[in-house]
Structure 1
Amino acid sequence: MPHPTHPEDTTVPTSFNQSVIDEFRAHDGRVGGPFEGADLLLLTTTGARSGTPHTTPLGYVRHEGALIVIASDLGSPHHPDWYHNLLAHPQVRVELGADTFEALAVPAEGARREALFAHVVKAEPGYGDHQARTARTLPVVVLGPAEPDGWRSPGEVRTLAGKLLEVHTWLRAQLRHVSAETEAHLAARAAHTGPGEPPAPGLGLQIRQRCLAFCQSLEFHHTSEDAHLFPGIAAHHPHLADTFERLREEHRTVARIQSELVDLLGRVAIAEPERLRAGLRRMTEELTAHLDHEERTLLPLLEEVPWPPAGPAGPPAGRG
C-alpha cells in the first residue's frame, strides 16, 4: 500500500492497530486517516504457539477471484507473526467490508509467486519498495476458498443427524481433495521426460496447507464428539456404552494416523511425499470405515434432535 504507515507494521503500537480494527468493523470496512480509500481487510489467524485468535488489518489485491496479501511488514528482515500463524493453522477468517468468511491461506511458490507479486506491485507499487528493503523474499499469500472444489452440503440442515452428515461429507471431500492433489503431483513427477526440471520432489504448499487444515478440522470434530456429543447421547441410551467405546477407539486409531501426517507436515516443505501418500491411504481407509459405522449407529438417534439447538447448551458437531 502506498501509504506512509502500514497497519501490519510491527513497529505500530497495538492500540493503533486496534483502532483501525474497531473503525473497520464499525463502518463496514471503511477506514479513514492514512488508509482512507485503501483496499483493506481484517485477517484473523490462530496463534502458532498460543492457539489464540489474532486479528491484523492488511492491504490486499484481487486476482482471479482470490485475495492476495503480502507478508511485507514494510520490508523488515523477519516475517510478521500472522504469516507464521497461518503456516501453523492454515484456516483463517477474513473480514471484507461487511462480510466475514473462512478461507484457506496458501503461500504461492516459484513462478506463480513471481507472477502474483508482479501483479500486486503493478496495483500497489509500494510493495516493490518493501521488497527492495529486505533480503528475504516477501511471501505472497493467496486467501482462497476453504471448501474443496465441488463440495456441496447434502441439503438444508434441520436436525443434528443432518449436521453430523454435513460434517462427515465435508471431511470426506477434504480428504479426497488432498489425496487427489498428492497423486497428481507425484504422477506428474513420474511422467516427466523433459525438457526442463521435473516438479520438485517435495510436495507444494497448496497440498501442505489443505492437508494440515483437514487434520486440524478432523481433530476438532472428534474432540467435540468425545467431549459433548457422545456423553449427551449416552445419557439417554446407556445400553449403547459398548458402541461409544468402540467409536472412541476408532477415534484413537484415526488420531494416531493424523499425528503421523501432522509430523510430516511440520516443515514448510514436505520432504517425504511417499510417506505422506501412504499415510493418506491409511487415513482414507480408517476414516471412511469409521464415518460409515458412526452414521449407521448415530444418525437414527439424532433424527429427532433439532439443529441448530434451541438453547445455548446443545452439543457442538461443527468442524470448527
Structure 2
Amino acid sequence: MSSAIDLHGQPHVDRYLETDGEDGYHWRNGTTILILFTKGRKSGQERKHALIFREHEGAYLVVASKGGTDAPPAWFVNLQADPNVEVQIKGERFKAVARVATPDEKPAMWAKMAEVWPDYDEYQKKTSREIPVVVLERA
C-alpha cells in the first residue's frame, strides 16, 4: 500500500478519512492537509476535498488555485453558494464558515501559503483570474 504522499484527489481523501489523517495529513514538501466538506450547489450532495492548509490567527487558510487554471475549483464555487462548510483536521471534524480574504489581509496570507507551496506564485502567473485565499473560521 503506497503512502498518501503519492495520492491526489479522491484516493487521498479516502485514505485520510480511513486513518483520521494518520496517513494523508502530512503531504509533500512538508505541507499539511485538511479535508474540506462542501455542499454541491446544484446536487446538494456532500463533496470532499484534500487541501493544503496553514493555521492563521485561529483560522485555517486554503488557496483556490486549481493549478492556475482560468476557472476556479468546483469546491470554491460551491462554498461561494453556501459558505457553511465542515473541515476535518486529523480526527477532528467541525463546522466552519468560509470567506475570501480581504484585499488588506490577502498579501500576508498569500505569503504564508506560498512559503509552504511556492507553486502558488507560479499558478497566479498562469492565469488572469485572481486566485483567492479562503479563510475557514470555526462556526
Give your verdict on TM over 0.5. yes
TM-score by length of 1: 0.39
1:112 corresponds in structure 2 to 105
Q: Which amino acid aligns with 2:87?
A: V
The alpha-carbon deviation at position 22 of structure 1 amounts to: 1.5
CA distance in 2, matches of 1:128, 1:39: 18
Structure 1 contact 29–98 (Cα < 8 Å) conserved: yes
Is 1:42 aligned to residue 24 of structure 2? no
Cα distance in 2 for partners of 1:28, 1:50 equals 27
Q: Which residue of 2 aligns with 1:84?
A: 77
Q: Would the alpha carbon gap of residues 31 and 135 (structure 1) be closer, same or farther in structure 2, given more than 3 Å must change? A: farther
Instruction: Determine the C-alpha separation between the residues in 1 that align with 2:46 and 2:17.
Output: 16
SS at match of 1:106: strand
Alignment of 1:30 onto 2:18:
no
Larger radius of gyration: 1
Match of 2:12 among 10, 16, 20: 20
Q: Is the 8 A contact 1:121 1:128 kept in 2?
A: yes
* 1:106–1:143 contact (8 Å) kept in structure 2: yes
CA deviations over 1:17-75 (Å, ceiling 9, x no partner): 2211121012221336x935530111010111221111111111111111100000111
Q: Match for residue 89 of structure 2?
A: 96
Query: Which amino acid is 1:19 matched to?
Result: P
Q: Distance in 2 between matches of 1:139 and 1:86?
A: 12
Distance in 1 between residues matched to 2:27 and 2:54, nearest whole Å: 15
Q: What is the aligned partner in structure 2 of residue 62 from structure 1?
A: 55
In structure 2, the residue corresponding to 1:22 is in which secondary structure? helix
Match of 1:138 in 2: 131
Shift of 1:6: 8.5
Shift of 1:78: 0.6
Residue type at the aligned position of 2:44 = G
The CA distance in 2 between the partners of 1:130 and 1:30, in whole Å, is 29
Shift of 1:134: 1.3
Q: Is the 8 A contact 2:66 2:72 kept in 1?
A: yes
CA, structure 1 residues 46+101, in 2 after alignment: closer, same or farther (shift >3 Å)?
A: same
- Would the aligned equivalents of 1:6 and 1:74 in 2 still touch at CA under 8 Å? no
Residue 141 of structure 1: SS of its match in structure 2? strand
Alignment check: 8 A CA contact 2:101 2:134 kept: yes
- Whether the aligned pair in 1 keeps the contact of 2:86 and 2:96 (CA below 8 Å) is yes
Q: Percent identity?
A: 35
Compare relative contact order (CA 8 Å, sep 6+) and give the higher one, 1 or 2.
2
Indicate conservation of the 8 Å contact 1:117/1:140, yes or no. Answer: yes
Structure 2 counterpart SS, 1:117: helix
Q: Deviations along 1:68-122, whole A, 9 cap, x unmatched? A: 0000011111101100100111110101001000000011121212221122212
Q: Report what 1:122 is aligned to.
A: 115
Cα RMSD, aligned residues only: 2.2
* Corresponding residue SS for 2:87: strand
CA contact (8 A) 2:31 2:117 kept: no
- The yes-or-no answer on 1:75 pairing with 2:68 is yes
Tell me, which stretches of 5 or more residues in structure 1 are unaligned?
8-16, 147-320
Give the TM-score normalised by structure 2: 0.86
Q: How many residue pairs end up in the alignment?
A: 133
C-alpha displacement of 1:128: 1.3
Partner SS for 1:121: helix
- Alignment gaps of 5+ in structure 2: 1-5
